[in-house]
Amino acid sequence: MSGLLEIRNLRVHFPIGGGLFSKPKLLRALNGISLDVQEGEVLSIVGESGCGKSTLANAILGIQKPTSGKVLFEGKEIHHQRRRDIAERIQPIFQDPQSALNPRKTVKDLIAMPLRVRGAHSAKEIGRTVDEIMELVGLPQRLGHSYPTALSGGQRQRIAIGRALVTRPKLIVCDEPTSALDVSIQAQILNLLADLRAELNLTYVFISHDLSVVRHISDRVAVIYLGRIVELGPADDLLDDPLHPYTRKLRSAHLSTAPHQELPKPVFKGGFPDPTNPPLGCHFHPRCFDALEVCETHVPGSVRRGRSDVACHLYTGLGTPGDDMTEIRRTGSTEEE
C-alpha cells in the first residue's frame, strides 16, 4: 500500500556565504530523507532547531525545491505541479499566528485568501464557505470583520487553521502550531486539530519539539538529526522505549511538570555541530555516549527493530569487534561525499 505522501531520498542543500574568491559552503539541510505518510495518520517530526524540520515542511508544501530526490503526493511529483493545484490538497499551519496573519485584513478576508487566489469562485460561494469554516474552527460570526490584532492568540490560530482548511485539503503541514501559544490555549488548539482530523479525515505532518504534544497527537514519530532521520516508529514505542541514543537523550532532556524535581542535567556532550561541516560517519557520534569506532567513519543504515526503524550502529551490528569492511559495503552504508 502506498502512502498519501511519499518522500524518496530527499536532499535539500543550500550554498551559503561565498564571495568573489571563496567557494560557498554547502549546508545540507536535508540529507537523504525517506518517509511515507498514510492517509488519515498523524506523523510527527521531532528534532532540535536547525535540524531541517522546517526545510522538510517547505519541501512538502512545494515552496522549497529539492536538490535531489522526490516528494510524491498521491503518487504524483509535487514539484512538477502548479502551486495552485497543490494548495488545494496540501496546506500549512504556521507556528506564530501573529506572523501568519496579515494585520491589515479582516478575519473573513484572511480565511478567504486561498480561495480568492484560486480565482474559481464567486463572491457568494466564498462568503458561504468562509462562514462554514468559521463555524468549523469555533470562531463566532461576529468576529468576521475584526482584525487579527484585536484577537487573542488562540483565536488567531483558529483563523490560521480556518485558512488552511478553506480549500478542503487532505494533508496539513503543521509547523509547531502550538509552541507560540499560552499553555492554556495549547490544549484547545490540539483538541481542535484532533477533532478536525476525525471529522474531515485529514492527514497531518506535525512538526514539533515538544514531546508531550507529540505524544498527545501522533500516530508515528520521526526523529531528525542534522538532516537525517535517526529513528522512525509508532509514537508509543518511540517515546516509551526509544532505541537511538539521540532519541533517548531528547526524551530525558524533556522538562517534567513535577514541581520539586530538579532541572534535567545536560545530556549531550558538546554543542550542536556546525551544520555546514557536519561530523563524518554518524552525525551524532561526537555527542553520543555510546559511540563506537565505526560511528566515526561510517553512516549507519536504517535497521528494523520491533515496529521502529533506527539508524544507529548499536543495531547495525557493525560496531562489534571482528567486523570487516565487506559487511559494511554490503549494507550500503559507506560514507558518501
- Interface residue list for other proteins (CB under 8 A): 61-63, 82-87, 91-92, 94-96, 99-106, 113-114, 117-118, 140, 142-143, 145-152, 154-155, 160, 163, 167, 182, 184-185, 188
Q: What is the DSSP string of 276-335?
A: TSPPSSSTTGGG-TT--TGGGT-PPPPEEETTEEE--HHHHS-SSTT--HHHHHHTT-PP
For 240, the grid coordinates are 516509551
Residue 177: CB minimum distance to other proteins, A: 11
| Helix, strand, or coil (residue 270) | coil
Residue 83: CB minimum distance to other proteins, A: 4
Residue 155: CB minimum distance to other proteins, A: 6
Residue 106: CB minimum distance to other proteins, A: 8
Nearer to other proteins (CB atom), residue 146 or residue 276: 146
Nearer to other proteins (CB atom), residue 181 or residue 238: 181
For 52, the grid coordinates are 531541517
Integer CA distances (angstroms), 34 to 64, 79, 199, 241, 301, in order? 16, 16, 29, 23, 12
Rounded Cα–Cα distance for residues 104 and 110 (Å): 9
Rounded Cα–Cα distance for residues 42 and 202 (Å): 9
Nearer to other proteins (CB atom), residue 8 or residue 105: 105
Can you tell me which residue has the cell 552504508? Answer: 333
Nearer to other proteins (CB atom), residue 45 or residue 139: 139
Alpha carbons within 13 A on the beta-carbon side of 94:
13
Nearer to other proteins (CB atom), residue 143 or residue 223: 143
Residue 174: CB minimum distance to other proteins, A: 13
Residue 35: CB minimum distance to other proteins, A: 20
Nearer to other proteins (CB atom), residue 78 or residue 292: 78
Integer CA distances (angstroms), 274 to 17, 26, 213, 306, in order? 14, 11, 28, 33
